[in-house]
């Protein structure tokens, strides 16, 4: 069968790219060797949010009931049902992706794909049978997987990655998390909420190193208060496991050996490449593409995590749509420049654009508007006074160059800033926009008034 496009990988880049191409009237197939939806839907973004919602609710009931005037007896939880609810959410969405394939007439091919030659994709099914398909174009969207530590391989029980962390049959009594990026911090929050002893090890000076320093510091303070031990500026110098637990030797403010039931390694990701034809890669192994998302081989494209950072589902989907519309609709594809990043611990963290330190390094002139959650009526009413909204406005025109929010529902609030930046709105237009009261989102307007020098409520 001849296809206009075969997409290799069914994650946020792959399935979205396949569906968009089909909407443009093309004959499309999508190859996936695991489950439709990829890592994000099945082993990442979605199931972890279900786990984190459970953790937040449990923490609220056990720590904040009295504040809400609630009298609750002993609150217990069923670990298997906590994990089961998360898997159930993924299962529903997985079936939804398969339905969307049928709706849009995308052929869903289950198996492992390779590219033996230009215009050909070979698919090996689970039973070992092979089939080769002809196609005018190929989109590689195979993504990335958890990076392991040299000399400390994953074993699925005592040394685990994020996939195993969200399906553990038994709750560990103690866990060491190596890496304080979004994945490490989210799992640290989750396990701590249920009483697991959590230690986080990060070699850089701050947790969530890509975020604004002020945000990282406040989050570290909050998580420490919640009982998580956080070791920044700390390097792992030795690792061992004996089938019953792990020992992690670290050097930092103090040199010590950490012992725990489990170690979660969250130090980043590495590319997953299809076999076959040789393609040009970056120094770190990511697929290299040009301004049209095309590789060094004509007719073979790449989008999503496989082409390198940022490794975010929403960025992957954007890239895939841009790539496909460039191929079939004659559009000039756009590369990702400004995008939101979110961490779903509690308090949540969301950001877009430049951090304050990055703006200073670039020598930009800007004003900072910062508004605290504790001054928000809605935040106080919801018993969520922790956090702030921080917006960086360029001078002299007042364009938004960055925004950083830590606090309740910040991952929802960041969308307004993203739209404003996309529309090139200035602080005048943000201030002139009537925000409903009381809402958390009105803090965006309040922070803008701070930046302009005439705040009302602080």
Q: For the chain, where do the domains classified as CATH 3.50.50.60 start and end?
A: 2-146+270-328, 159-265
Contact 393, 400 (CB under 8 A): yes
CB neighbourhood size of 263 (10 A):
28
Over residues 255-307, the pLDDT tens digits come to 999 999 999 999 999 999 999 999 999 999 999 999 999 999 999 999 999 99
Q: Of 63, 397, 437, 457, which is the active-site residue?
A: 437
Q: For the chain, where do the domains classified as CATH 3.30.390.30 start and end?
A: 347-452
- pLDDT number for residue 1: 67
Q: pLDDT (tens digit, 0 to 9) for every residue of the chain, 458 residues total?
A: 699 999 999 999 999 999 999 999 999 999 999 888 988 888 888 999 999 999 999 999 999 999 999 999 899 999 999 999 999 999 999 899 999 999 999 999 999 999 999 999 999 999 999 999 999 999 999 999 999 999 999 999 999 999 999 999 999 999 999 999 999 999 999 999 999 999 999 999 999 999 999 999 999 999 999 999 999 999 999 999 999 999 999 999 889 999 999 999 999 999 999 999 999 999 999 999 999 999 999 999 999 999 999 999 999 999 999 999 999 998 999 999 999 999 999 999 999 999 999 999 999 999 999 999 999 999 999 999 999 999 999 999 999 999 999 999 999 999 999 999 999 999 999 999 999 999 999 999 999 999 999 999 99
Contact 406, 388 (CB under 8 A): yes
Fold of 347-452: Enolase-like; domain 1 (3.30.390)
For the domain covering 2-146+270-328, report its CATH number: 3.50.50.60
Tokens of 318: 């954007």
* 212/244 Cα distance (integer angstroms): 38
437 annotated active-site: yes
Give the global pTM: 0.95
> Which contiguous run of DSSP H or E holds residue 230?
strand 229-231
Q: 159-265 belongs to which CATH class?
A: alpha beta
* 44/135 Cα distance (integer angstroms): 31
If you search the block for the tokens 């019953």, which residue do you land on? 244
Over residues 114-160, the pLDDT tens digits come to 999 999 999 999 999 999 999 999 999 999 999 999 999 999 999 99
Per-residue burial over 134-166, b = 16 or more CB atoms within 10 Å of its CB, e = otherwise:
ebebbbbbbbbbbeebeebebeebbbbbbbbbb
Tokens of 125: 């099914």
Burial environment of residue 387 by CB neighbours within 10 A (0 to 12, 13 to 18, 19 or more): buried
């Amino acid at each position: 069968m001849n296809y206009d496009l075969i997409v290799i990988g069914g994650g946020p880049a792959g399935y979205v790219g396949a569906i968009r191409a089909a909407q443009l009237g093309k004959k499309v197939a999508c190859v996936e060797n695991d489950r439709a939806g990829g890592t994000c839907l099945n082993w990442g973004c979605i199931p972890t949010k279900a786990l984190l919602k459970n953790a937040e609710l449990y923490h609220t009931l056990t720590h904040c009931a009295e504040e809400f005037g609630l009298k609750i007896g002993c609150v217990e939880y069923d670990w298997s049902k906590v994990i089961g609810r998360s898997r159930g959410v993924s299962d529903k969405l997985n079936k939804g992706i398969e339905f969307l394939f049928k709706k849009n007439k995308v052929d869903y091919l289950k198996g492992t794909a390779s590219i033996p030659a230009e215009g050909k994709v070979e698919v090996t099914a689970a039973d070992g049978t092979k089939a080769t398909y002809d196609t005018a174009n190929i989109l590689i969207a195979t993504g990335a997987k958890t990076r392991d530590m040299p000399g400390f391989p994953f074993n699925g029980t005592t040394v685990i990655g994020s996939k195993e962390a969200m399906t553990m049959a038994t709750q560990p009594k103690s866990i060491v998390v190596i890496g304080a990026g979004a994945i490490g911090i989210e799992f640290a929050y989750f396990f701590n909420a249920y009483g697991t002893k959590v230690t986080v090890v990060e070699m850089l000076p701050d947790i969530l190193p890509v975020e604004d320093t002020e945000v990282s510091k406040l989050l570290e303070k909050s998580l420490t208060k919640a009982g998580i031990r956080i070791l920044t500026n700390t390097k792992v110098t030795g690792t061992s496991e004996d089938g019953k637990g792990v020992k992690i030797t670290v050097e930092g403010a103090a040199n010590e050996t950490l012992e725990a039931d489990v170690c979660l390694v969250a130090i980043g990701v590495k590319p997953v490449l299809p076999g076959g034809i040789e393609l040009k890669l970056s120094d770190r192994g990511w697929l290299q593409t040009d301004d049209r998302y095309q590789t060094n081989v004509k007719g073979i494209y790449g989008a999503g995590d496989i082409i390198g950072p940022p490794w975010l589902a929403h960025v992957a989907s954007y890239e895939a749509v841009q790539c496909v519309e460039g191929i079939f609709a004659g559009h000039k594809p756009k590369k990702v420049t400004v995008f939101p990043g979110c961490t779903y611990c509690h308090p949540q963290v969301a950001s877009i654009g430049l951090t304050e330190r990055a703006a200073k390094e670039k020598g930009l002139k800007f004003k900072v508007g910062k508004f605290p959650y504790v001054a928000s009526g809605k935040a106080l009413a919801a018993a969520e006074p922790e956090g702030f909204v921080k917006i960086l406005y360029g001078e002299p025109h007042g364009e938004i160059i960055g925004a950083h929010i830590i606090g309740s529902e910040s991952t929802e609030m960041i969308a307004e800033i993203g739209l404003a930046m996309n529309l090139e709105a200035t602080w005048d237009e943000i201030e002139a926009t009537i925000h409903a009261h009381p809402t958390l989102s009105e803090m965006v307007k309040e922070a803008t008034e701070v930046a302009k020098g005439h705040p009302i409520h602080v």
